[in-house]
Amino acid sequence: MKTGLTAFVAIGFISSAHAQSLPGGFVYLRDIDPSIIQDIRYAGSNNFIGRPMSGYGAGECVVKREVGLRLKAVQQELAAQNLSLKMFDCYRPARASLDMVRWSQNGRETAAERRYNPKIPKTELFRLGYIASRSQHSTGAALDLTLVDLKADNSARYDPSKTYADCTAPVAARIPEASVDMGTGYDCTDAKGHTAAASITPDQRAWRKRLVAAMAKQGFVNYSKEWWHFSLPGAGGPAYDFPIQPRRN
């Protein structure tokens, strides 16, 4: 998810010497509920920039403890339906948002980048609200996620050598995400990615409504321009810039 609702940033830098200690109130989601699937996209190359973003030293979901406990409650309800949450992004170091700013201003647009921005020039993404230089993700209270049908074949994986269609294409043609078909891929900056988009199928709309309803039961609010983005009002506070490091086992 490229955006978040804009938050005032009080950046807290944590030295690499304390790489595995989190600020007070933050937890690794695996320590709360290891059953929640994680595919932290900004820690690898399968994202709209095409490389790991600044501050993502590990593909780990870090959140405020209250957020993690509520996600656990959502997951428990979904498990009874043979479903699971899948996390794409959680806490985001403030430096990663600045990385996005630099990317948007570098004067280049590659074919791989256009998969995520099929109709909108990346220089317009700020004005249209798809990228923010200050993100609520940096408070630990915002999340990007989807649903996985545990009964389905979820074996498809991203192949960096393959040419995929853009994020609005039919699910078989776009980058595989091993999750239910929500009508677009993750981080799709297109009107079709708006939660209430009219241009998706009834089944895709039903999956979006199911995700929003499950999250709403635990107080999470969806961002209308991104079906995958949720936040927990009141759980944020200042934004941080500590890097995400591997979790101790």
For the chain, domain boundaries = 16-231
In the predicted structure, residue 120 carries a pLDDT above the cut 70 = yes
Q: Which amino acid is at 21?
A: S
C-beta of residue 90 within 8 angstroms of C-beta of residue 141: no
Q: How many helices (H) and strands (E) does the chain have?
A: 5, 7
Mean pLDDT across 199-214: 98
Most trustworthy range by pLDDT among 80-84, 112-116, 135-139: 80-84
Return the pLDDT at 134: 78
Residue 132 to residue 7: CA distance in whole angstroms: 9
CA 59 to chain centre: 12
Confidence label for 14 from pLDDT (cuts 50, 70 and 90): very low
Confidence label for 124 from pLDDT (cuts 50, 70 and 90): confident
Distances (CA, A) of 133 to 76, 109, 113, 168: 34, 19, 19, 25
Higher pLDDT, 7 or 20: 20
Q: How many residues does the chain have?
A: 249
Residue 45 to residue 118: CA distance in whole angstroms: 19
Higher pLDDT, 55 or 237: 55
Task: Locate 218 and state its tokens.
Answer: 């635990």
Over residues 133-159, the pLDDT tens digits come to 778 999 999 999 999 999 999 999 999
Predicted TM-score (pTM) of this structure: 0.90
In the predicted structure, residue 55 carries a pLDDT above the cut 90 = yes
Over residues 159-183, the pLDDT tens digits come to 999 999 999 999 999 999 999 999 9
Mean pLDDT across 219-247: 95
In the predicted structure, residue 192 carries a pLDDT above the cut 60 = yes
- CATH number listed for the domain at residues 16-231: 3.30.1380.10
Task: Locate 109 and state its tokens.
Answer: 């647009």
In the predicted structure, residue 39 carries a pLDDT above the cut 80 = yes
Return the pLDDT at 9: 35
Return the pLDDT at 7: 34
Return the pLDDT at 173: 97
Per-chain mean pLDDT for the chain = 90
C-beta of residue 55 within 8 angstroms of C-beta of residue 241: yes
DSSP 246: P
In the predicted structure, residue 20 carries a pLDDT above the cut 80 = no
Return the pLDDT at 2: 52
In the predicted structure, residue 11 carries a pLDDT above the cut 50 = no
Return the pLDDT at 236: 82
